[in-house]
Structures are given as C-alpha cells and as structure tokens.
C-alpha cells in the first residue's frame, strides 16, 4: 500500500505523519515529532526562536530547520518501509523568509549523501537568520509599503491583508534598507515552506498561493506577484521571488541526496504550504460554513471562504486555501506561550491549571486579563504589557480563568469580520487536548467544539495534500471530501456542548472585555463601572 508523508515545520518542532492509503483502506501508519530546543541545543533557540533583547525582533536559524528535516528523514527511514513512499508534502510556519545566494541552485543539486545536510548549506545563505511570524519590528516599513501602493485598503483588496509587521514584504524591506549588500547578494527569497521543499527536491521550489498570500506581495485573485507591492518593497525584488504554483502541483521528486542517504524512492514532492492552510484541510474544513480554532504556539481562528471577503477593519487576513478557494484567518501571538506564562507563574502543571479552571466561576466576577506578554498581533500591540481589570496579580485561580476567558473572547470578537454563523468549531493545536479550555471556547462562542482524531492537523493536512497532489498528477479524479474522509473527522461523541446560560453571560462579558481592550489600547474610558455592573448583575 502506498504511503504519503506530511511534515510540519512549526515554530517549536518538526512533526511527521505518514498515511497508508489504498481505496477504502486508510490509516495513520506513523507519527513523530522533534522539539527544536531540546534536540538541537547548539542553535541556542528558546521555543524555536533566537533570543533577542528587543522583544519586537524574532528570528530563527534556517539551518536548524534543515537539520531537523535530516533527522526526521533518518527517523522515518528507521521506522517504516519507505520504499512504498509515493508522495511528500509539507506545512511550515507562515510568513518567515529564507535568503539564499546564487550558489544555492548548484549546491542543492549536488549535495553529498554521506554528509549531514546542515553542514553543506551554510554557504548558500545570504542572511544567516530568518525573520519569523513573531517579529513585530517593521511598522515603519508597513507604513512605507501601504503609502506606496495607495493605502491600506488598496493593499488589502489586492493581497488579502493590509500591511502586517510579520508579513514577508515588510521583513524584506527592512532587510533591504538595513543590509543592502546582503540584500544584493540574495538571489532567491523563500518562505519557510518553499525553502524546505527546495531542500527535498534539490532545486528551487515554487510557493503555493496559500503561503504566497502571507507575503503582502501576491495578487489574491490572480495568484501572481502583484507588481505595485513588489516594486514598493525593495529594488530588484521581482527577480528574487520564486514562482507561484497551485497547491496541488508536484514540484519535483526527492533528490538523489535523500534517495542515497536514506534509501528512499524518487517520491513526488507536492508544493508545501503554510501551517494554517494545511490545517484547514487537516481539520476537514473543505466546505464553507464551519470554523476552526488552532491553539498552537499562535492561536488562530479560520474558516474556508468561497469568495474572498477581505476584512475592511484591517484585523484579519484572506489567504488562498489548498482547495483553490480562500480562507479567512485572524491570528493571535499570545497563544500557548501566554498560557504557559500564567501556568508557570503559579507553579502549575496542565492538570492543576485545568483544576483551577474547574473550580472558578465562569465569568470570573467580571475580571479581565489582557495577556500581552509579547507584542500582540490582534489587536496590534507593539509594546508588551499585561493588563488586569478587577483581578489581583497573585490570585492563581483567577488569573488562570482570566487568561483563558480573555483569549476566547478576543477570538470571538476579532473573528466577527468573517461573518460566519458559528454552529460548530473544530479545535486543533497542542492546547486542544485540554477539554477544560475547550469548554470555555464552547460557552464563549455558543457552539459545539469538536476535537479531532489526529491532533496535529497541520502535518495531517500536509499528508492529505500529498495524497491529493499525487492523485491529481496521476490523472485520477478525486474530491476533497474523499481526500479528508476518515482522517480529518471530528470526534462527535466527545463534543463539548455550550451551556446556554453561560453563553448568554459571555455575551454580556464580551462587552466588558471590549471596553477593557479599548482602554488598554488608549482609546477608551476606565471600564471599572462596567465591571462593577457586570459583577452586580451576577450576584
């Protein structure tokens, strides 16, 4: 039976899922994960990111990602009959960019299978680090790009998003301005996804529209680079960008390096994409209507859209979806790491964190926590800071409930622009294992929350995309419903149902939350009277 491999290079780890599929026989044959910090101490990362005194700067070493890929292939070759490997695809953290010089093409085509990958590619990087999605240091460049293309609305209408600090265009512009010589020595700028696909195929791989739409450079309707944005970003950029190919494209086969080093076949490599577009498939949202929430390093809310309804308020994004449709998405930076900060501040484990959630009253007597431990993406917060309203900093239980309720209300509030009537939510990402968190999600959104059979939806989505791309290449007709069947299915019996009374309470509390957010952002009055009213009405 043929095997299909999905890889997911996320902020903190590299994961793999192998599917065995033939006709109606479909099963997950292998799952594995390598955490970056522990497995590759020599790169000096913390949570996958290089330490920096400036909280606005976030970069990672591309060689770490390559090293992890090499180690994962060794692990796979040791654990599976990989002669049956038919196709590979991948998912990667979005927006991050990798800068390669003109030696890259020749080096990638002639890698020595006797030597580790990371030892051979240091010389092809024109920039030793890759800025990643957690970077928020490019507000000036965002303003410059928006002004040059005719404003934020023009940029959003064409590319799916107004300018965002972490998006690739602003990052490229900052590099171009700060290090013009290294920029000039750059021959190709990849996303993390297309960089890793290039390592597998041994030649420059194209990007898919899903990840291309996280650059602020792609014309969403035409799936081609949008010239005004490209020209406004950096001189000579057009010649440095990869081509864009549909997500189902076979971009090459596993290069001789991998075949000789690990005894792998010349498996098809299907275009890699971003983790959120891959997750859309991995949670089974291949039709319009549902919503997914990923509680990973970032928290994201997303759903499939048939038509690109661009957010006029400038909060969210429209990306290309692997199905050829679109997806709406809102991203929060203070996701799992913020939950961990609260957990660790009170010396808790995840199980005692859950116990604290269970013994505190929903609504928390009107207490609100804005967990901006790091600069926040949604809403835009460039200077980090924790804001507590009606909550003492040393109340462990109160802070646990407040961080979870605050995050869930922020997600409900800032996904309204997608105009989805939320009847059900597919929950994924590391924290979706925590049913106490998911119960708060169900109550805040007033929707049933489903866990999924396979937890890592980004890696699963990549594996399903490998299957889909491979079938398309063989001329076999297949629908997306058939592709995701059995794998990306919500677990119905264990769904978390919303409590109507609690949902009604959260509809009031979200007004309090909104007032606190406005005050913290410096454009609203003191919310204390509202908090007092809320608490009094619940007595």
Contacts of residue 114, Cβ cutoff 8 Å, sequence gap at least 6: 261
Residue 332 interacting with ligand XUL (CB under 6 A): no
201, 193 contact by CB (below 8 A): no
> What per-residue string of b and e applies to 222-233 under the rule 16 or more CB within 10 Å gives b?
ebebbebbbebb
- Identify residues 240-299 at the interface with ligand XUL (CB under 6 A): 274-276, 296-298
216 binds, among ligand XUL, ligand ADP, none (CB under 5 to 8 A by kind): none
Residue 465 interacting with ligand XUL (CB under 6 A): no
Q: Which stretch binds ligand XUL (CB under 6 A): 88-96, 142-150, 479-487, 528-536?
A: 88-96
Residue 430 CB, nearest approach to ligand ADP (Å): 2
Q: Where are the beta strands (DSSP E) in 133-237?
A: 188-191, 218-219, 224-225
Residue 297 interacting with ligand ADP (CB under 6 A): yes
**CA gap 315, 301 in Å, rounded:** 12
Of the residues 331, 342, 400, 467, which one makes contact with ligand XUL according to CB under 6 A: 331
95 binds, among ligand ADP, ligand XUL, none (CB under 5 to 8 A by kind): ligand XUL
- Radius of gyration over alpha carbons of the chain, in Å? 23
Q: Which is nearer to ligand ADP, 34 or 535 (CB)?
A: 34
Q: Which is nearer to ligand XUL, 11 or 323 (CB)?
A: 11
* DSSP conformational letter for 272: -
Residue 433 interacting with ligand ADP (CB under 6 A): yes
Question: For 67-134, what is the HEC assignment?
Answer: HHHHHHHHHHHHHCCHHHEEEEEEEECCCCEEEECCCHHHHHHCCCCCCCHHHHHHHHECCCCEECCC
12 binds, among ligand XUL, ligand ADP, none (CB under 5 to 8 A by kind): ligand ADP
**CA gap 172, 168 in Å, rounded:** 6
53: number of Cβ within 10 Å: 5
DSSP secondary structure string for all residues of 422-457: -SEEEEESGGGG-HHHHHHHHHHHTSEEE-BSSS-H
Residue 11 interacting with ligand ADP (CB under 6 A): yes
368's enclosing H/E stretch is strand 368-372
Binding to ligand XUL by CB under 6 A, coded x per residue (else -) over 207-246, reads: -------x--------------------------------
Residue 372 interacting with ligand XUL (CB under 6 A): no
Residue 430 interacting with ligand ADP (CB under 6 A): yes
- Identify residues 501-530 at the interface with ligand ADP (CB under 6 A): none
Of the residues 296, 322, 371, 498, which one makes contact with ligand ADP according to CB under 6 A: 296
Q: Parallel, antiparallel, or unpaired: how do β-strands 218-219 and 268-270 relate? A: unpaired
- Identify residues 110-169 at the interface with ligand XUL (CB under 6 A): 133, 166
Q: Which is nearer to ligand ADP, 206 or 296 (CB)?
A: 296
**CA gap 347, 394 in Å, rounded:** 12
Residue 95 interacting with ligand XUL (CB under 6 A): yes
Q: Which is nearer to ligand ADP, 255 or 330 (CB)?
A: 330
> Which residue's Cβ has the minimum distance to ligand ADP?
430
**CA gap 146, 135 in Å, rounded:** 18
Contacts of residue 289, Cβ cutoff 8 Å, sequence gap at least 6: 303, 304, 420, 423
373, 341 contact by CB (below 8 A): yes
Of the residues 434, 439, 470, 519, which one makes contact with ligand ADP according to CB under 6 A: 434
Q: Which is nearer to ligand ADP, 9 or 253 (CB)?
A: 9
Of the residues 12, 89, 91, 94, which one makes contact with ligand XUL according to CB under 6 A: 94
Of residues 166, 137, 132, 173, the one with CA closest to residue 50: 132
**CA gap 262, 19 in Å, rounded:** 19
Q: Which stretch binds ligand ADP (CB under 6 A): 77-85, 159-167, 216-224, 428-436?
A: 428-436
Q: Give the interface with ligand ADP as residue ranges (CB under 6 A).
A: 10-13, 296-297, 336, 339-340, 350, 429-431, 433-434
Q: Give the interface with ligand XUL as residue ranges (CB under 6 A).
A: 11, 93-95, 133, 166, 214, 274-276, 296-298, 300, 331
């Amino acid at each position: 039976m043929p095997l299909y491999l999905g890889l997911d290079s996320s902020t903190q780890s590299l994961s793999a899922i192998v599917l065995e599929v033939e006709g109606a026989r479909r099963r997950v044959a292998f799952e594995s994960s390598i955490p970056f910090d522990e497995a590759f101490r020599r790169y000096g990362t913390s949570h996958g990111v290089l330490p920096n005194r400036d909280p606005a700067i976030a970069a990672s070493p591309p060689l770490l990602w390559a090293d992890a890929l090499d180690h994962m292939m060794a692990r796979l070759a040791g654990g599976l009959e990989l002669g049956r490997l038919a196709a590979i695809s991948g998912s990667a953290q979005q927006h991050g960019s990798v800068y390669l010089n003109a030696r890259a093409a020749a080096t990638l085509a002639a890698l020595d299978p006797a030597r580790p990958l990371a030892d051979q590619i240091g010389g092809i990087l024109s920039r030793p680090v890759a800025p990643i999605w957690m970077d928020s240091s490019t507000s000036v460049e965002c303003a410059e790009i928006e002004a040059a293309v005719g404003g934020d609305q023009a940029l959003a209408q064409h590319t799916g998003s107004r300018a965002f600090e972490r998006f690739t265009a602003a990052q490229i512009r900052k590099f171009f301005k700060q290090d013009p010589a290294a920029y000039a020595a750059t021959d190709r700028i990849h996303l993390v996804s297309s960089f890793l696909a290039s390592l597998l195929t041994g030649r420059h791989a194209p990007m898919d529209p899903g990840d291309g739409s996280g650059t602020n450079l792609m014309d969403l309707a035409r799936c081609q680079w949008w010239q005004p944005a490209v020209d406004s970003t950096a001189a000579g950029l057009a010649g440095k960008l990869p081509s864009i190919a549909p997500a189902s494209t076979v971009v090459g086969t596993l290069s001789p390096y991998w075949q000789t080093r690990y005894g792998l076949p010349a498996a098809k490599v299907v275009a890699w994409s971003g983790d959120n577009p891959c997750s859309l498939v991995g949670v089974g949202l291949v039709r319009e209507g549902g919503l997914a929430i990923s509680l990973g390093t970032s928290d994201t809310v997303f759903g499939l859209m048939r038509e690109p309804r661009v957010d006029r308020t400038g909060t969210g994004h429209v990306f290309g979806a692997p199905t050829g449709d679109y997806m709406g998405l809102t991203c929060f930076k203070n996701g799992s790491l913020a939950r961990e900060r609260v957990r660790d501040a009170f010396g808790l484990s995840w199980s005692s964190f859950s116990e604290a959630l269970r013994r505190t009253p929903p609504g928390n007597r009107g207490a609100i926590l804005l967990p901006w431990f790091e600069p926040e993406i949604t809403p835009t917060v460039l200077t980090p800071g924790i804001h507590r309203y009606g909550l003492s900093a040393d109340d462990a239980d109160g802070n646990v409930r407040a961080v979870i309720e605050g995050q869930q209300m922020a997600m409900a509030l800032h996904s309204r622009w997608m105009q989805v009537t939320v009847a059900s939510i597919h929950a994924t990402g590391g924290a979706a294992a925590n049913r106490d968190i998911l119960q708060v999600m169900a109550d805040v959104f007033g929707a049933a929350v489903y866990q999924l059979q396979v937890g890592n939806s980004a890696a699963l989505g990549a594996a399903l995309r490998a299957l889909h791309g491979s079938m398309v290449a063989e001329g076999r007709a297949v629908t997306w419903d058939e592709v995701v069947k059995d794998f990306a299915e919500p677990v119905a019996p264990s769904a978390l149902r919303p409590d109507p009374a609690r949902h009604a309470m959260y509809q009031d509390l979200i007004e309090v939350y909104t007032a606190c957010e406005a005050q913290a952002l410096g454009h609203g009055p003191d919310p204390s009277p509202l908090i007092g009213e809320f608490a009094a009405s619940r007595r």
